Structure 1
Amino acid sequence: MTSGSSVAQTRRDGAWASWAPTGRAAVPAIVLLVVVANLVGVATVVALLIGVEDGSSDTGRGPVLWAVAAYLAVALPAGTVAGLRRQRVTNRWLMARREPTSGEAGHALRLPVDTALIAGLIWLLGAVLVGGVSAAAFPDPLVGLRTGVATLLGGMATAGVTYLLVARAARTVTAIALAAHPPVGALTLGVRPRLLLTWGLTSGVPMLGVVLLYVDPSNPDGPGRGAVVFLVVVALLVGGLATLLTARAVGQPLRDLRDAVQHVGRGDYDVRVVVDDAGEIGLLQEGVNTMAAGLAERERLRDLFGRHVGTTVAARALATGVSLGGEERTVAALFVDIAGSTSLVRRTGPAEMVGLLNRFFEVVVDTIESNGGLVNKFEGDAALCVFGAPTDHADPAGAALRAARHICDAVREAGEVDVGVGVACGRVWAGQVGAASRLEYTVIGDPVNEAARLTELAKERAGRVVASEATVLAAAPEERAHWMEDAAVELRGRGEPTTTWVRRKA
């Protein structure tokens, strides 16, 4: 997962929702959480067994409780050691503060399942032990069946809650593992098994417990009111906790994904979602991150493409593709060139000249694009600009003349260079030329050559801009009012005179 100061990550809201042990304290803290959860489960089952009347003497309860205490004294340390040994690989790379290998990451992702399996095994052995001791201690051996089944049901609920708790507490470890090795499949319980597990904890196990209380052959008179009430209260508490954990495990990532998609919709492609789930949700989180990264890369390429060929050409290419060929269009061509550039570079030096050219071309680009034109190419200290290609323009001649006036005014105000601007209008061929592996968008035709020739005349005119008569007459009346007829000249390479127009004096 990409991270850094330039990447915005979605965050968890709320202190409880954002808590998770990290670093070297992660695995021990999770083991301690599991021990506490199992002790609560033991206390619940013991309270239930004590509260169930069996109609016989209660002298058998003492040996059962002593057996439970002895088993806990052995099972809890053994389970803790087993859990720590099972995840010692995870604890090792967490303490070393390094990225896990692929195998270590996969091992860490199994932490919730491994912990729940260890808890389930301990409860299964405990149910067999408690059932056997009860059968031997009570006059009615069926009491052993009752206590064994009750312990087993309590173990199922405790193991399920253990899985949900560990999955919640270990999400920081999961995020680190998945950051190093993104998910490629449903590695742990997905959304559907989690919901089924929650149903089992909140409905299945409690209801089965109530049914067993009433069909218990060792207690034909049925359970007492206290036992039923106690079991219902426990079911409500366990169900509330399990539902809360499942809701947060599913709902919070979905809110993060919604926020990320909204960021992408607003054009912020640097957003990243923390991948902290190894199932379907994690795949979705990684998919959103991949999508955002792809869109960011596409936007970067489009920006670079637009900087090289112009935003309008880039947009057209992205929409229709690029190929050799083109079309005839009526356009206005504007050619701008710095006067005396040879002597200027000799005076300033190449490094300073580059800075001067960049400032000059910034004025040209801003002016041309603000008037709906395209800076087609830079030619040393000159630039060819077109209006009306590759996209249509309502008044290409008027926009070119207006841009020429604004460029001359801006350059004169800056006082760094002197320029000449020529403007011509007519039919040209516009399209891609070059080879299949290297294309360039260009315009070819007489107006382009005419604009370049007019630029040489413009360097000698007071207003520094000369336009052909056809261009001025094609412009809108409000722009035409800024121009006046100058002279008819024969431009180099043209066998007929060209009537020129210049800026009207203010």
Structure 2
Amino acid sequence: MQILLTVSLLGANAIGLVVVLTLVSVVVPGPNVVTPREYWWVNFIMLPIYLALAFLIGLVYGTTRTVKGLRWAIEDREPTRREQVRTLAMPWRLTRVQILLWTVGSMLFTTAYGTINPGSIPKVAFTVVFGGITVCAFSYLLTEFALRPAAARALEAGDPRRIRMAGVMGRSLLSWLLGTGVPVIGLMIIAIASFIRRDTSSTQFAVAILALGSVTIVFGFLLTFLGGLATTAPIKNVRSGMAAIEKGELDARLQVYDGTELGELQSGFNRMADGLREREKIRDLFGRHVGTEVAEAALAKNPELGGEEREIAVFFIDLVGSTELAASQPPSEVVDLLNRFFHVVVEEVDRHEGFVNKFEGDAALAIFGAPSDIDDPCGKSLAAARCIRDRLLVEVPDCKAAIGVASGRAVAGNIGAKARFEYTVIGDPVNEAARLSELAKSIPGALVASARTIDEAKRAQGWKLGDSVTLRGRSQETQLAIPE
């Protein structure tokens, strides 16, 4: 970090020295202060000594102090609020050191050259001030770029909205002022000086305009480019994050490294992504608890108490001998068995476009045709029941389940209180399916459906009708159907 800062500041000061030498030797009209013998002690003694002192103070001391201010980053710990603000203010603090050194140099050399020839005062003052402004502008932008990793870590540890430094508008105005405004002011000053000093030739005036115009084009472009790069980089960063969100990559996170409003934009994106991840997590958990269809319906519109009548098909599945199983096996083994059992049930119900509405201990209720309409709910409920029976025989042979399938008209909706309710179906088909499940425990194959369900199904091959029975709790007879 110190090497990068030193190189940045050396580069900025080298640019400033080139500008000063160019202006003082061939651009700005006035006495020659480069080659005459009377200026030898200023050019060859005073100038080298001051440059050496400025190097020690501005570069070595300034960068060393900056690195000490980043001790929290070196120690890999969270910065305090004071350390955060100090880290973000470091580019400006280093620039202030450059302002101080160039201000002292301007006064010192203007006085030194003025004691030899008072006519050189305007020329020297203008060139040193112009070079100093150029150096300070590049120093700020380059050191801000060099300290970007430290700024990123500082901003990650706190809210950038409360520790923001210069804004985007200030940065843009600074680039314009130093890249365009100051050179144009210099041209105006030279024009005014040419009116005051009648000895300025048209050639000198033309050279001055061409030189300052070139400086304006070159350094104005560089400053505008650096300022634009500092502005567009965070925006591109946010665009890449938005593209990742659009692809479904909700774990996308941006590094906040800008201390302006653009840093707020980056931080705002991260807060938005956190909210989306939390929302998706809640949505996933919600869907797991109540069913994907019910969750999507609840998210699409505000759920209310009450329901609607729908033609549905349901099946009720229950483990046979679960009481003895719980008494003879450890609870952990019983839970593992139930999870394997329900895994098959849920997978097949989902595959046939139904949803498991309830888990009741060792039993489950599956609904087809609510809350969303599906094609042939009766046929799909029968197919799901047969697939579950066949898979359980192979995948969970250590348990036996009885399944009852029924269909008819029922009320589907939210039942409970305003503060707590659940989606369910109430009606004769549910009761009939539960009773058929009880009856199936004593029938070979352990799968029984109502004849009405077979009749209503569009696709129900491989079923044969049997006797009619009066199920417990019902007054009407139910004709049975079992797989062939």
- Give the TM-score, by structure 1 length: 0.87
Kindly report which structure 2 residues correspond to 1:70-81, keeping only aligned pairs within 5 A, or say none.
Answer: 70-80=49-59
Matched, 1:153 2:130: yes
Partners of 1:84 and 1:221 in 2: CA distance: 46
Alpha-carbon distance, 1:31 to partner: 4.8
Matched, 1:207 2:187: no
Kindly report which structure 2 residues correspond to 1:127-276, keeping only aligned pairs within 5 A, or say none.
Answer: 127-138=106-117, 141-185=118-162, 187-217=164-194, 218=197, 220-222=200-202, 223=204, 230-276=211-257
CA, structure 1 residues 186+220, in 2 after alignment: closer, same or farther (shift >3 Å)?
A: farther
Q: Percent identity?
A: 39
Aligned partners of 1:335 and 1:422 also within 8 Å: yes
Match of 2:382 in 1: 401
Match of 2:40 in 1: 62
Aligned partners of 2:312 and 2:370 also within 8 Å: yes
Code of the residue aligned with 1:333 in structure 2: it is V
Equivalent residue of 1:110, what SS? helix
Aligned partners of 2:102 and 2:128 also within 8 Å: yes
Partners of 2:302 and 2:155 in 1: CA distance: 38
Partners of 2:381 and 2:408 in 1: CA distance: 12
Partners of 2:102 and 2:375 in 1: CA distance: 81
Kindly report which structure 2 residues correspond to 1:369-408, keeping only aligned pairs within 5 A, or say none.
Answer: 369-408=350-389
Q: Which one of the candidate residues 9, 19, 39 is aligned to 1:34?
A: 9
Match of 1:317 in 2: 298
Partners of 1:167 and 1:284 in 2: CA distance: 18
Match of 1:289 in 2: 270
Partners of 2:62 and 2:32 in 1: CA distance: 40
Code of the residue aligned with 2:40 in structure 1: it is G
Aligned partners of 2:70 and 2:150 also within 8 Å: no
Q: Which one of the candidate residues 315, 326, 331 is aligned to 1:334?
A: 315
What does the per-residue CA deviation read over 1:379-400, in whole Å, with 9 as the maximum and x for residues that have no partner? 1111001112222223221221
What does the per-residue CA deviation read over 1:205-253, in whole Å, with 9 as the maximum and x for residues that have no partner? 3333344344434562153776655545544443343233223212222
Long gaps (5+) in structure 1: 1-20
What does the per-residue CA deviation read over 1:92-124, in whole Å, with 9 as the maximum and x for residues that have no partner? 323433211111101111111222222123222
- Give the TM-score, by structure 2 length: 0.90
Alpha-carbon distance, 1:72 to partner: 2.6
Alpha-carbon distance, 1:89 to partner: 6.2
Q: Which one of the candidate residues 51, 64, 87 is aligned to 2:26?
A: 51
Partners of 2:375 and 2:4 in 1: CA distance: 71
CA, structure 1 residues 142+487, in 2 after alignment: closer, same or farther (shift >3 Å)?
A: farther
Matched, 1:457 2:435: no
Long gaps (5+) in structure 2: none
Alpha-carbon distance, 1:502 to partner: 1.5
Q: Which one of the candidate residues 103, 122, 126 is aligned to 2:82?
A: 103
Instruction: Report the more deviating stretch, 356-365 or 206-215.
Output: 206-215
Code of the residue aligned with 1:54 in structure 2: it is G
Partners of 2:146 and 2:461 in 1: CA distance: 76
Code of the residue aligned with 2:391 in structure 1: it is A
Partners of 1:137 and 1:354 in 2: CA distance: 100
Code of the residue aligned with 2:8 in structure 1: it is L
CA, structure 1 residues 334+341, in 2 after alignment: closer, same or farther (shift >3 Å)?
A: same
Partners of 2:95 and 2:158 in 1: CA distance: 24
Partners of 1:281 and 1:237 in 2: CA distance: 27
Aligned partners of 2:25 and 2:32 also within 8 Å: no
Equivalent residue of 2:284, what SS? helix
What does the per-residue CA deviation read over 1:455-505, in whole Å, with 9 as the maximum and x for residues that have no partner? 1222233333211122122111xx2333221110110011221111112x2
Equivalent residue of 2:251, what SS? coil
What RMSD over aligned residues (CA atoms) do the two structures have, in Å? 2.5
Aligned residue pairs total: 475
What does the per-residue CA deviation read over 1:239-286, in whole Å, with 9 as the maximum and x for residues that have no partner? 343233223212222221111001111111111100001111100000
